[in-house]
Every structure is written in structure tokens, then in C-alpha cells.
Structure 1
Amino acid sequence: MIETRALLDGDRMLTQIRDARGRIARPAELTTSMRSIIYSQSGSPDVLQLVEREIPQPGPGEVRVHVAVSGVNPTDWKSRANGPLEFPEVTPNQDGAGTVDAVGEGVTTLVVGDRVWTYLSARNRPTGTAQEFTVLPVQRVVKLPNSTSFDIGATMGVPALTAHRALTVLEGGPARLHPGALDGRVVLVAGGAGAVGHAAIQLARWAGATVVTTISSDEKAALARSAGAHHIVNYRTEDAAAAITAIAPQGVDIVVEVSIVQNAELDAEIAGPRAVVSMYADDGGDTASIKVRPNMTKNIRYQFVLLYTMGDEAMANAVEDVTQALIAGVLPVGEKAGLPLVRFPLAKTAAAHQAVQDGVIGKVLIDVAE
């Protein structure tokens, strides 16, 4: 819940915004500068610097968001580490949540004070969400339901939109997700303890699928169970193919795949006729080997999934459906919901990036607002 109250500053009436965590936001009217994380060369997390920058102004079709929480994804550290840089100076992080505090000319769908989540915040732009204020095209800023926390909002962009795409590319399957959309379907989520896997479990279950997930430890099994997976298979201690076939004797319809390099043989064995394997991560591998005959026999489709190039229609569908899932309350985060939150202050953004790069279990969030 956002609490606002008037502040008298000389002859000006300002608005104090208190976010859902009880912290007082810093309206742009009170200062001309902000704290921002930047880097001007690619490399290790050490290239990230905390600096003061002028607060940006929104142009036509843009909104300015006072960022409360910034989410860190693997794509963020990979962009920082691998380059090349698109701009002389870059502020990282694609995802975030906060409050609209200024709108540009022509913006009618959002107003000052709206609670929002953002996606593709740093896509073809120099300024992501690792800063106190960020300016974005209005299309990349989405209203956050009043009952939804900023923590949840900051985890929606890359993970939830990627999961939606992975679940909607089945031949003859739905292009949209809603209760009943995946009734009668079996979904296998490989690596159900990660952020994308977590969102895929939640969205698939919400849409009516039977959800199976593979994990590698008891700790990750507990997280996948908390996320809502119906069946959990430990591929280190079980015959994964036999276990999955026992659960789905007619075969799996959709595989949400985190590592086709490791799992190509398993996927071909457990997939049903005309199934799809949705591959959203390369897992560090350049080449995957796929056997021709078992895949051809079943007419299995292999679909690469990358958020940045999925297309406007698919993106709009995903944003709308994820928002409906938020309203329904089916995308919680936190350890009890199967996705532990690992927090850092803005000044420790380098440590946050390192944690994601090191494969920390859970979702890394940066508390931007003081």
C-alpha cells in the first residue's frame, strides 16, 4: 500500500510517498540529483560504480519511475561482462518496481502515484533500474495491482515473461494463459528452483496443467514443492526418464528447458507426440546434440525462447496475462513461495551481480529507495 501526505516547502506543496516497506521515497522535486549505478566498460562486477547523476526528465510518451526495488537477472551480468557497450555509460538491470512520479506529453495510461513494474528497462537504453529514478517508454511500464508488493513486481520482467512465452508455443496449444488454458496438458519444468522455473511452475499450475519439475537436491525439491509443482524428480538420485514416464505415460506436452545441452536425450525420451521443448537458456554451452530418429518419430518441436526478440504480439499477451496472474495472487515470491529473496542495498550492486553470476539460489533484489 502507498501512503501519501502533503509537505509544505516554502510556497510549494510537495507529496511525500511512503512505499510498501515503510520507507520514505525521495520525490524528484526535493533534489536535482540521484544515486545511480553505472559502468563505462565491460568486465567483472568491479566495473560497477555508485555515482550521483542528474534526475532525468521524461519526454513524449515516457514516464519517470521512482524505483523502490531492482531485480537482477543473469542477462544483466552477462550484458555487463561480455559487452560491447551500446552507450558510453550504462546503468544495469532490466527489471524493477516503484512509483510513477512524472509523465511525459501524450501519456494517458499512467498517472503520478501509480505503482508499477517495469520490463526491458535497459533494452536499447542506457538507463536500467539500478538507480533511484529511471525514465522509460510507457509501453515498458505496467500498473502493479494494489495487493502486489514491489518485491513481486521486481521479479516479473525477465522470469515471468520468459516463462509465459515458453508455455505458449505448443502446436495446437494456447497463445494466452488463464485458468483452464492448459487443462489436460503435462508440463515439465527443468530446474524448477530458478526464477524462470519458479514462474513457469506457478503460471502452468494456474493455467490448469499437471506440473512436473526436475531438481538436483532436497533443498531445491522443497522450493519447487512450495512453488506448486505436483511432481518432483531428483535427477541425481532417480532414473529421471522412468520417473517422468510413470507420471505421464502419454508423454509430456511442454518442456520448459534450462539446459538443452545436458537434457536433450531425456527430453526426446519423455516428450509426447507433437510436444514442444522451449529452450530459454544456453547454460554455458555452445552446442547441443539432438538425435534425429526419436525426435522425428514424435514430431517434437524445439523452440528457442529469448525475451528480447519474441515479438510485439507475444510480449503484449505475456504482459497482460502476467498482470492477470498478479491480480489473482498466483505469483508470490519469498522462501515460503519457493523463491528465496536475497537482498542488497544499491551501494552493493556489484555484490548482487556477483551473487547471480555465482548461481545463488533464489532471486536477487536491490533495495534502491533509502
Structure 2
Amino acid sequence: MHAITYDSFGAAADVLRLTEMETPSPQPGEVSVTLRYSGVNPSDVKARAGSRPGVTKPPFPRIIPHSDGAGEITAVGAGVDPGRVGQRVWIWNGQWQRAFGTAATHITLPAHQAVPLPKEVSFETGAQLGIPGLTACHAVFGAGAVAGETVLVQGGAGTVGYLAVQLAKWGGARVIATARPRDFDLLHAAGADAVLDYAAPDLARQVLDANAGNPVETIVETEFGLNIETDTQCIAPNGRIAAYGSAREMTPSLPFYPLLFKAVTIDILLIYLLPPAPREQAITRLHHALEDGALDCPIDRILPLAEAAEAHARVEAGQRSGAVLLDCQG
């Protein structure tokens, strides 16, 4: 098989290499998947760059990056239903605590990490479901149904935020999103009932005004540290702040007393560690939303496998309008 590999941290152009390797055979409980697309996420870029706190060297001698992907099962190990051969699937945690991820023509991994792809869902969409899709779904529905409630999505034009807006609307919530003014039309088209400038100095007041003066039950948060003061003003008693990022302020100071007297739940999400039961719930909800035609998963760029460094640079630069994928067979 062909794979993108690295064995040291550094700039993508310096450390990512196209390598020929032997395709691993599936062991008991495993499947081998011929990959069509691999999704490139910010976490993949940070891992390759060595920017995670306290990590000084790669955890394995050679790494194939990326956790997300989609393709077809071409072989199964002992104990796996042979009928799965030929099944269209999407991958989660492809390279989480494992050396070899999805930036390759093939991947072999535990069978339950290859999820059957709904009939009408494309491989391109499937390659976006692992990290962005599951994060958005669990952020919105992690405490249960949201029908009749209000969900605030901070950073609604980002990959996760955009999916969260659509999922919350599909789930029957009133949706308020924040974004740059240039993205307002995009988010209104995605279903947001109100879209506000995330840089507004009176954002908390605007959120409350957009919700008829009422606080919101759920906040999906991409910049927890920067936004906690605003979120505290906007959250309802017994509300939930689902935070999946805080890149610009990694050591936030919390207004504990106001949060305490609203009995707010702060739910910090790391989708890699989601336990089996809530993961299955999120997968089921994602599939239902896809089958209902409620999710648009835009693509910014598809690049050949050999151009993985350019894909990483694209994600690293930000300002993209959708997912960046590698064509694993191109």
C-alpha cells in the first residue's frame, strides 16, 4: 500500500513522506478497508507539528496520520462477519493511540471502528463524520433532546460549528449562531434563526435579545476561555456549555460564583474518548440526520494523497470553507 508517513515533528513539507508499505492483514476482530478519502483535521496538524503540550517526540517510530476516512471493507479477520466484505464504511479514531491512520490507500483496524455508511451518503461526506460530525452531534445532544430549547453555537461557520447549527435545527431547537459578518448568509441558509457578530462588545445582550430576553439552554463552544464571560451571562439555570476548543486561551479563569448559582454543567469534549454508549447514540443521530437530508458537509479542497503536505498547510492556515480531504486512490 501507499501511505503518508512521518517519524519526527516538524513542518508538513519537511516531515511528511509518501511511502510504500506492506498492507497489514486483519487480525481477529479487525477489518481491512480500501480507503477512498482521508479527512484532515486540526488535531492531525497539531499532532504532526508536535504542538501538543508535554509531547516531545512522536509516540511511535513511524506514523501514518489522520483519524477520519471512508472506503470499502476488502478483508475481515477471524470473528468478523464475512458478509461485511464490500461494505461501504466510515472510520473513527483511525490514528488515535495507534501508529497507522487513514492517510493511506488502506487501513486495518478493529471492526467496530468501521461504521456502515448510509446508502445515499457519499464517501466524501463519510470522511468528515469521525471528528467533526461526532463532535458536533455530541456537543448538541450530549444531554439529550433539544427540541423546544435554544442552542447557541459560538463560531458557527467553523467545520464543527456549521454541523452543530444544522443538527440543532434538525433536532427542533431555536438556533443562534455567532460568526464573522461575511458568514451570516451561510449560517442563515444552514438554519440559524439568528446570526450575530462574535466580536460585538455587547454580544451577551444581543444573544438574549435574539431569544426574546431569555437565556439559552445549551451553548456549543469553540473558544471556551475567550467566551466564558459571555457564555455565563447567556446560559440558563441548569444549562450546559459543551466546549470542544479553547485554542486562544488555554488557561481560562472562570466566574465560578455566577456559574454555581445557575448550576451550569461545563461539558469538555474530547471525541476520541467518548464512551461506547454515547458514541453509538451520536452515530445513530448523525445517520438519521443524514438520511433526512438535514446535513450539508461542504468541502474546501480535495487533494491527491501525495499532496498531503499541502493539505496540512491548508488546514493550518485556517480560513477554509469546508473540509480538506485526501483522495487516497488518486
SS at the partner of 1:298? coil
* Match of residue 233 from structure 1: 196
* Match of residue 129 from structure 1: 102
Q: Is residue 2 of structure 2 the alignment partner of residue 35 of structure 1?
A: yes
Flag the 1:273–1:110 CA change in 2: closer, same or farther, 3 A: farther
Q: Unpaired runs of 5+ in structure 1?
A: 1-33, 175-180, 335-339
Q: Is the 8 A contact 1:117 1:143 kept in 2?
A: yes
- What is the CA–CA distance in structure 2 between the aligned matches of 1:351 and 1:225, rounded to whole Å? 31
TM-score, length-scaled by structure 1: 0.83
Q: Is residue 170 of structure 2 the alignment partner of residue 197 of structure 1?
A: no
Q: Is residue 32 of structure 2 the alignment partner of residue 72 of structure 1?
A: no
Q: Which residue, out of 29, 32, 36, partners 1:61?
A: 29
Letter in 2 for 1:120: N
Tell me the alpha carbon deviations over residues 20-78 of structure 1, each in whole angstroms, 9 at most, x when there is no partner: xxxxxxxxxxxxxx211000112221211011111221111111111111101111111
Q: Decide which structure has the larger Cα Rg and report it.
A: 1
- What is the CA–CA distance in structure 2 between the aligned matches of 1:116 and 1:360, rounded to whole Å? 29
Q: Which residue, out of 293, 313, 324, partners 1:364?
A: 324
- What is the CA–CA distance in structure 2 between the aligned matches of 1:97 and 1:277, rounded to whole Å? 31
Letter in 2 for 1:291: P
SS at the partner of 2:84? coil
Letter in 1 for 2:220: V
Letter in 2 for 1:73: N
Q: Superposed, which structure 2 residues align to 1:346-361 within 5 Å?
A: 346-361=305-320
Could you tell me how far 1:135 is from its partner in structure 2?
0.6
Q: Is the 8 A contact 1:169 1:276 kept in 2?
A: no
Could you tell me how far 1:290 is from its partner in structure 2?
1.6
Tell me the alpha carbon deviations over residues 233-265 of structure 1, each in whole angstroms, 9 at most, x when there is no partner: 113357322221112222111100000111111
- What is the CA–CA distance in structure 1 between the aligned matches of 2:266 and 2:65, rounded to whole Å? 31
Q: Is the 8 A contact 1:152 1:331 kept in 2?
A: no
Q: Superposed, which structure 2 residues align to 1:161-172 within 5 Å?
A: 161-170=134-143
Q: Is the 8 A contact 2:219 2:240 kept in 1?
A: yes
Could you tell me how far 1:110 is from its partner in structure 2?
5.5
Total equivalences in the alignment: 322
Flag the 1:47–1:284 CA change in 2: closer, same or farther, 3 A: farther
Q: Which residue, out of 337, 341, 344, partners 2:300?
A: 341
Q: Is the 8 A contact 2:154 2:198 kept in 1?
A: no
Name the Cα RMSD after superposition: 1.6
Tell me the alpha carbon deviations over residues 191-229 of structure 1, each in whole angstroms, 9 at most, x when there is no partner: 0111111121121111111111000231x2233223222
Q: Is the 8 A contact 1:92 1:122 kept in 2?
A: yes
- What is the CA–CA distance in structure 2 between the aligned matches of 1:251 and 1:284, rounded to whole Å? 25
Letter in 2 for 1:62: E
* Match of residue 27 from structure 1: none
- What is the CA–CA distance in structure 1 between the aligned matches of 2:284 and 2:82, rounded to whole Å? 14
Q: Is the 8 A contact 2:36 2:69 kept in 1?
A: yes
* Match of residue 299 from structure 1: 263
Q: Superposed, which structure 2 residues align to 1:204-215 within 5 Å?
A: 204-215=168-179
SS at the partner of 2:97? coil
- What is the CA–CA distance in structure 1 between the aligned matches of 2:177 and 2:222, rounded to whole Å? 11
Q: Is residue 49 of structure 2 the alignment partner of residue 49 of structure 1?
A: no
SS at the partner of 1:63? strand
Sequence identity (%): 37
Letter in 1 for 2:17: Q
- What is the CA–CA distance in structure 2 between the aligned matches of 1:49 and 1:39, rounded to whole Å? 6
Flag the 1:291–1:237 CA change in 2: closer, same or farther, 3 A: closer
Flag the 1:116–1:58 CA change in 2: closer, same or farther, 3 A: same
Letter in 2 for 1:67: L
Q: Unpaired runs of 5+ in structure 2?
A: none
Q: Which residue, out of 45, 49, 55, partners 1:81?
A: 49
Flag the 1:98–1:58 CA change in 2: closer, same or farther, 3 A: same
Q: Superposed, which structure 2 residues align to 1:178-193 within 5 Å?
A: 181-193=145-157
- What is the CA–CA distance in structure 1 between the aligned matches of 2:44 and 2:4, rounded to whole Å? 13
* Match of residue 99 from structure 1: 72
SS at the partner of 1:54? coil
Letter in 1 for 2:311: A
- What is the CA–CA distance in structure 1 between the aligned matches of 2:277 and 2:257, rounded to whole Å? 34
TM-score, length-scaled by structure 2: 0.93
